Amino acid sequence: MTDVPPGSGKFTRIPRTSGSPGVDVRAKLRDSVQAIEAFLHHAVASGRDAFRRNSPAYASGSMAVIRAAALFETGEFDDLLTETPADVRQALRTLRNIASRSGYRSMDDDILWVTLTRDLPPHVASWRRAAFD
């Protein structure tokens, strides 16, 4: 892309990198895991009845999935997250794509709830061990 002057209202895409020099990858993973845990907790804390479209809990649940899928986008954390199976990584990407690109109207709320309450927590616990051990 060409350089665009600041304040021109144009979006300039910056290429993704797998890491920044001098940045501790484990510390970055810790930050990411803590964010995922916070979103996950907020999403499920008030129960299934409070988890409905356009609610803060629903938005938090979607962000938990989006942040979880982001762990596998660049390969930066691959050496630390070896316990996460490829099918789980793909499922997170698929759910993230639905949440972020298709919008909530395409989301199966019951599947998202089960993902947040049953499927995702064991993986988050594994990522926590990898980040903090």
- Predicted confidence (pLDDT) per residue in 21-61, tens digit: 556 999 999 999 999 999 999 999 999 999 998 899 999 99
Counting the structural domains of the chain, the total is 1
pTM of the model: 0.81
Q: How many CB atoms lie within 10 A of CB 1?
A: 9
Judge whether 25 and 49 are in contact, CB under 8 Å: no
Q: Judge whether 86 lies within some domain.
A: yes
The 3-state DSSP class for residue 121 equals: helix
d(CA 44, CA 50): 8
Q: Judge whether 11 lies within some domain.
A: no
Q: Judge whether 19 lies within some domain.
A: no
Q: Judge whether 4 lies within some domain.
A: no
**What is the residue range of 77's domain?**
25-132
Q: How many CB atoms lie within 10 A of CB 84?
A: 19
d(CA 126, CA 121): 9
Q: Judge whether 14 lies within some domain.
A: no
Q: Judge whether 6 lies within some domain.
A: no
